Amino acid sequence: MSVDDKFKHEAQDLLGKAKEAQGKLTGDDSKEAEGKVEQATAKLKKAGENVKDIFK
C-alpha cells in the first residue's frame, strides 16, 4: 500500500470518528451513523490494500 493511500484511509477514519463524536454531542443520530459508516469504509479499504500487498 502506498503512503498516499495509507494517509487517505487514515484521514477518512479520523473524519468518521469526528462525525460520530459530533453526532453524539448534538444528539444527531444520522451524523453519528454517517461517522460509523465512514470508519467502516476506511477499515475495508485498509484491509483491501493489505490483501493486495500480500499478493505482490
pTM score of the predicted model? 0.83
pLDDT at position 5 is: 85
Give the pLDDT score at 31: 97
- The parts of the chain modelled with pLDDT lower than 70 are 1
| Per-residue pLDDT, 22 | 97
Report long-range pairs for 43-47 (Cβ below 8 Å, ≥24 apart). Answer: 43/13, 45/5, 45/9, 45/12, 46/1, 46/6, 46/9, 46/13
